[in-house]
DNA sequence: CTGAAAGCGCTAACAA
DNA sequence: TTGTTAGCGCTTTCAG
C-alpha cells in the first residue's frame, strides 16, 4: 500500500495517510483523494467509477470499488454540485403555510414521492401565512441553490419569487393562484367547488345560506366567496350580507361567528344552511352547532375534506380537494422544467369532489329551528 | 441599517461586463467576484461584509453593500460550507415514518421552528416503515453533509446510522427507542401511558379489556403491549390471549379485528372495554363499534390523540402524546450537539396525558351488551 | 484594514 | 483507458 503518488502536495497530512481520512472538516469522511490513493489510481478514475461513467476497465473498477467500501466513501453532493456543469443540487424546496396542516402535509408527502424517484431531496418550510417569513424560507432554499421550488404563496411576497423566476429558477405555484407570476400553477377549482357546495344546498330547498370563510387576503378565500355569490345568483337567491362572515381565522373565530349568526340576527332571518369555505372554519362551525344543538337542523357543507368528517354525527358533507394529486402534479411539472421543458407556463386545475355525508342533505325546517334554539 | 442609499458607485468604472454575471452555471447569479469587481474591492472584503466580520471600514462596507444590492447578490451556502473550517451546512435532516401522519407532521413542524431560529433548513423524508428506504433517505441527507439528523427509526436500519454516529454526526432518535445507538433519544412514555389507559378502564369496573395494537415489529407497539399486561397484572386481572389483537396495520385491519372480537368469541366472553394502542387502530375500532351500535356500551381508550376525537359521540378518551414537545426537545438536543456539547447521550421521556372524553368512562354492562349486539 | 493566493471536494477539459 | 490540470464560489491563511 505504498502508493505515494508524490504529486499530492497536501501539506496538512501526515502519519498513516492511506487509512487516515484526510480532513477533519468532513467529519472523518474519506474523500475521493483518499480513495484514489488507497486504490493507487488517479482521482478522476474514482470519479468515473463513482458516477458510473463508461470507459473504465473492469480491473480498475474493482480496485476502486474495494477502496470505496473499505473507506466507507460517500461522495459529497454539495461539492459535486458546485463543480458540475449543470449546477444541479438534486434538492428542491417546498414552501407551504404549515407542514402540519393535513392538506399541506399530504401535498408534501406527494411531492416527496416524486422527488425520491428523481433522486432528489426535499427541503420543507412553513411560511405561516406571513409574507416576510415566506421570503426568508424561500431565500434560505435558493441560497442552497435548490433545483426548483414549489410554493403555496401567502399572497404578498411574490415579487422576490418573481426575480428568481426571471433568473430561471423553476417554480411551481400550488393551491393559491398568482396572476403576476409566469409559472406553472396547480390549483383546486375553488370557485367551481364552492358553487357546487352552495348549489347543493339550494337544491335541497335552502334559501338562506350563510357563508363563513377565511381571511380574504388569501386568494382561495376570495375565490370561494365568489363561487358562493355566483351559485346564489344562479339559484335566483338574493345575497344577504348579514349572512356573510368572511375574514375568519381559525376554529375559535369560526365558532364565534356561527354562534353570532343565531344570536345576533332577528328571529326568522336565521340561515338554514351554512357553507364553510375552509377546513378549520368547518370544524369551528360544527362545534357551534353542537353547542346550540342544531347539528341535525341546520345544513352544513364544508370546503376541503378532513379526517373523521364521516364519523361525526351527522357526517359532514364536504367539497373535497385532492392534495395528493395537487402535489404529484406540481412535482411532475417542476421536474419537467428542471429537465429543461421550455413551454409556456401552464395552469392545471385539480377538480374537487362533493362528498355527501348527511350534514349537507338536511332540509330547511324554520319552525323547528327557532324552537330548538330558543329552548 | 444604514439609511444611506449608496448610489455613490455610479459612474465609477464598469461597462456592461461589470454588470454581466460571470457564470451561467449559477443560473445568472452574481458571485462574490462579480460584487468585488463592481465595488472595486478585493473578494475577501466582500466576504467580510457579507459575513459581517469586523474590521471593515464603513466606507468600504457601504460600497460593497451597494454592489450587493445592485447585483442582487446572495452567497452560495453550499460553496461556503465546502470551504468553511467547521464544514457546517446549516441544514438538518428529519427522517420519519410519514410526514403526512399528524403525529410526525406536528413533530416536523416543531423541529422546523427550532431550526429557523438557528438559521438552519430542514430536509424532510418519509421512510414508510421500510428499513431500506430509511437507509436511502438518511444517506441522501448525509450525502448532503447535513449538520445533524433526527430520526424515528423503523427498527431495522440502525447499523448504517450507527456508523454515522461513530463518525461524529449528531443524531437524535425520536419516538422509538433504539438501545443499540449511543445517542440522545426523545421518547413518549409508551409503557406507562398504556398502563394508565388500561388502569383507567379497570378502575371503571372493566375486567375483560381487549388490546388492539400495531405491528409488534415496532418498538412502541411492544412497549404499549407491555404496559397493557402490566396494568392488568396490577389490577389483578388475568390476561385472556383471545382478547389480544396485535400486529394490526391500518384502520381496516383494526376494524376487522374489533368486529372479530364480538363475533368470533363465545357469548359472555366478549370484552367490555378496548384499549387501542395506536392512532389509526383507534379510528378503525370506533368504526367497528359504530357498525355494531356498541359505541355507547363498550368502553374505548386510545393511545395517541387525533383531531376531532372530542367531537365524536361519545368523545374518544385517549392517552395523548405531545409531538410538538417531542420535536422541540429533539431539535434542541440536536443543536446542542451540533454546537459542540459532548456529554453522555441522554434519554428524555415526554409524558403522556389521559384525556377523558366519554368513551373511556363507560362502565361495563354485559347484559345490555349481548342484547344489543344480538339485535 | 485590505487583498492575493491556496484549496475545500469535486467534475470538465484536455492531455498522455 | 487513464491521469493531470484547472477552477466552481467560497473561506482561510498570510502577506502587505
Whether A184 contacts A161, CB under 8 Å: no
Q: What is the CA radius of gyration of chain A?
A: 29
Is A12 near strand C, with its CB below 7 A from some atom of it? Answer: yes
Tell me which of A5 and B215 has the higher pLDDT: B215
Burial of residue A114 (CB within 10 Å: 0-12, 13-18, 19+) is buried
pLDDT averaged over every residue in chain B: 88
Nearest residue of chain A to residue B79 (CA atoms): A82
pLDDT averaged over every residue in chain A: 88
Is A89 near strand C, with its CB below 7 A from some atom of it? Answer: no
CB-side neighbour CA atoms (13 Å) of A123 = 30
Query: Between A and B, how many residue pairs show a Cβ–Cβ distance under 8 A?
Result: 165
Q: What is the pLDDT of residue B370?
A: 52
DSSP code at position B364? P
Residue B109 to residue A99, Cβ atoms within 8 A: yes
Is A79 near strand C, with its CB below 7 A from some atom of it? Answer: yes
Burial of residue B130 (CB within 10 Å: 0-12, 13-18, 19+) is middle
Give percent above pLDDT 90 in chain A.
74
Q: What is the pLDDT of residue A9?
A: 32
SS3 A295: coil
CATH for A91-189+324-350?
Answer: 3.40.50.2300
Q: What is the pLDDT of residue A2?
A: 30
C-alpha cell at B1: 441599517
Residue A290 to residue B283, Cβ atoms within 8 A: no
Average of pLDDT values for B267-294?
A: 93
Q: Which of B105, B184, B166, B95 is nearest to B134 (CA)?
A: B95
Q: How far is the CA of B3 from the C1' of D3 (A)?
A: 55
Q: What is the largest CA-CA distance in chain A?
A: 97
Please state the domain extents for chain B: 1-75, 91-189+324-350, 190-322+355-374
Q: How far is the CA of B84 from the C1' of D12 (A)?
A: 8
Residue B163 to residue A98, Cβ atoms within 8 A: no
C-alpha cell at B191: 409503557
C-alpha cell at B336: 446542542
Q: What is the pTM of this model?
A: 0.88
Tell me which of A299 and B3 has the higher pLDDT: A299
pLDDT of B55 strictly over 90: no
CB < 7 A to strand C: residues 13-42, chain B: 41-42
Nearest residue of chain B to residue A323 (CA atoms): B100
Q: Which of B243, B365, B244, B235 is nearest to B298 (CA)?
A: B365
Closest-lying nucleotide for A45 based on CA to C1': D2
CA dist A228 and A56 (Å) reads 66
Q: Mutate which of A140, A313, A328, A340 to disrupt the B interface (most B C-beta within 10 Å)?
A: A140
Kindly indicate the confidence band of residue A67, based on its pLDDT and cuts at 50, 70 and 90: very high
CA dist B38 and B366 (Å) reads 86
Buried b / exposed e along A314-336 (16+ C-beta atoms within 10 A): bbbbbbbbbbbbbbbbbbbbbbb
pLDDT of A143 strictly over 70: yes
Q: Which CATH architecture has domain B1-75?
A: Orthogonal Bundle (1.10)
Q: How far apart are the CA of B360 and the nearest CA of chain A, in angstroms?
A: 18
Domains B1-75 and B91-189+324-350 share a fold: no
Q: How many helices (H) and strands (E) does chain A have?
A: 13, 12
CA angle at A35 for the pair A33 and A38, rounded to the nearest 5°: 110
Q: Mutate which of B34, B144, B250, B326 to disrupt the A interface (most A C-beta within 10 Å)?
A: B144
Q: What is the pLDDT of residues A328-371, one digit of tens each?
A: 999 999 999 999 888 999 999 999 999 999 999 999 975 444 54
Q: What is the pLDDT of residues B69-91, one digit of tens each?
A: 999 999 999 999 999 989 899 99
Residue nearest to nucleotide D8 (CA to C1'): A83
User: End-to-end distance of chain B based on CA atoms, in angstroms?
Assistant: 77
Closest-lying nucleotide for A42 based on CA to C1': D3
Kindly indicate the confidence band of residue B157, based on its pLDDT and cuts at 50, 70 and 90: low
Q: What is the pLDDT of residue A250?
A: 87
**Residue A336: CB partners within 8 Å, gap ≥ 6?**
none
CA dist B331 and B329 (Å) reads 5
SS3 B57: coil
Residue B76 to residue A145, Cβ atoms within 8 A: yes
Q: What is the pLDDT of residue A343?
A: 92
Of A311-320, B7-16, B237-246, B269-278, least confident by mean pLDDT is B7-16
Residue A89 to residue B98, Cβ atoms within 8 A: no
- Residue B294 main-chain phi, psi, to 5 deg: -110, 5
Q: How far is the CA of A203 from the C1' of D10 (A)?
A: 65
C-alpha cell at A109: 408527502
Angle (deg, nearest 10), helices B102-117 and A102-117: 80
CA dist A210 and A132 (Å) reads 34
Q: What is the pLDDT of residues A202-251, one digit of tens each?
A: 999 999 999 999 988 888 999 999 999 999 999 999 999 999 999 998 89
Kindly indicate the confidence band of residue A156, based on its pLDDT and cuts at 50, 70 and 90: low
DSSP string across B73-113: ----HHHHHHHSSS---SEEEEEES-TTSHHHHHHHHHHHH
Nearest residue of chain B to residue A77 (CA atoms): B144
Q: For the domain A190-322+355-374, what is the CATH superfamily, name and number? A: Response regulator (3.40.50.2300)
Kindly indicate the confidence band of residue B54, based on its pLDDT and cuts at 50, 70 and 90: confident
Whether A281 contacts A76, CB under 8 Å: no
Q: Find residue A160's DSSP bridge partners.
A: none
Nearest residue of chain A to residue B287 (CA atoms): A311
Burial of residue B111 (CB within 10 Å: 0-12, 13-18, 19+) is buried
Closest-lying nucleotide for A24 based on CA to C1': C8
Q: What is the pLDDT of residue B15?
A: 31
Amino acid at each position: 500500500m505504498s502508493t505515494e503518488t508524490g504529486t499530492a502536495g497536501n501539506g496538512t497530512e501526515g502519519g498513516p495517510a492511506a487509512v487516515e481520512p484526510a480532513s477533519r472538516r468532513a467529519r472523518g469522511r474519506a474523500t475521493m483523494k483518499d480513495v484514489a490513493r488507497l486504490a493507487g489510481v488517479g482521482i478522476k478514475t474514482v470519479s468515473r467509477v463513482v458516477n458510473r461513467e463508461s470507459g473504465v476497465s473492469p480491473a480498475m473498477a474493482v480496485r476502486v470499488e474495494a477502496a470505496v467500501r473499505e473507506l466507507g466513501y460517500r461522495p459529497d453532493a454539495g461539492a459535486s454540485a458546485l463543480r458540475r456543469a449543470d449546477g444541479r443540487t438534486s434538492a428542491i424546496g417546498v414552501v407551504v403555510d404549515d407542514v402540519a396542516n393535513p392538506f399541506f402535509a399530504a401535498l408534501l408527502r406527494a411531492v416527496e414521492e416524486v422527488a425520491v424517484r428523481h433522486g432528489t431531496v426535499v427541503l420543507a418550510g412553513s411560511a405561516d401565512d406571513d409574507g416576510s417569513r415566506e421570503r426568508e424560507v424561500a431565500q434560505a432554499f435558493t441560497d442552497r441553490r435548490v433545483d426548483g421550488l414549489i410554493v403555496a404563496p401567502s399572497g404578498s411576497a411574490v415579487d422576490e419569487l418573481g426575480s428568481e423566476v426571471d433568473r430561471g429558477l423553476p417554480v411551481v405555484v400550488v393551491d393559491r393562484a398568482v396572476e403576476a407570476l409566469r409559472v406553472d400553477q396547480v390549483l383546486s377549482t375553488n370557485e367551481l367547488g364552492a358553487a357546487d357546495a352552495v348549489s347543493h344546498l339550494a337544491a335541497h330547498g335552502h334559501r338562506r345560506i350563510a357563508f363563513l370563510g377565511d381571511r380574504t387576503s388569501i386568494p382561495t378565500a376570495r375565490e370561494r366567496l365568489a363561487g358562493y355569490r355566483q351559485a346564489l345568483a344562479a339559484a335566483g337567491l338574493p345575497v344577504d350580507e348579514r349572512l356573510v362572515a368572511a375574514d375568519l381565522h381559525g376554529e375559535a373565530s369560526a365558532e364565534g361567528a356561527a354562534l353570532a349568526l343565531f344570536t345576533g340576527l332577528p328571529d326568522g332571518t336565521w340561515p338554514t344552511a351554512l357553507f364553510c369555505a375552509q377546513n378549520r372554519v368547518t370544524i369551528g362551525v360544527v362545534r357551534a352547532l353542537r353547542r346550540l344543538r342544531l347539528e341535525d337542523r341546520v345544513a352544513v357543507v364544508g370546503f376541503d375534506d378532513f379526517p373523521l368528517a364521516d364519523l361525526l354525527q351527522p357526517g359532514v358533507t364536504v367539497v373535497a380537494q385532492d392534495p395528493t394529486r395537487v402535489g404529484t402534479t406540481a412535482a411532475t411539472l417542476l421536474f419537467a422544467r428542471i429537465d429543461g421543458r421550455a413551454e409556456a407556463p401552464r395552469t392545471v386545475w385539480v377538480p374537487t369532489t362533493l362528498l355527501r355525508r348527511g350534514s349537507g342533505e338536511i332540509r330547511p325546517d324554520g319552525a323547528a329551528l327557532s324552537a330548538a334554539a330558543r329552548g
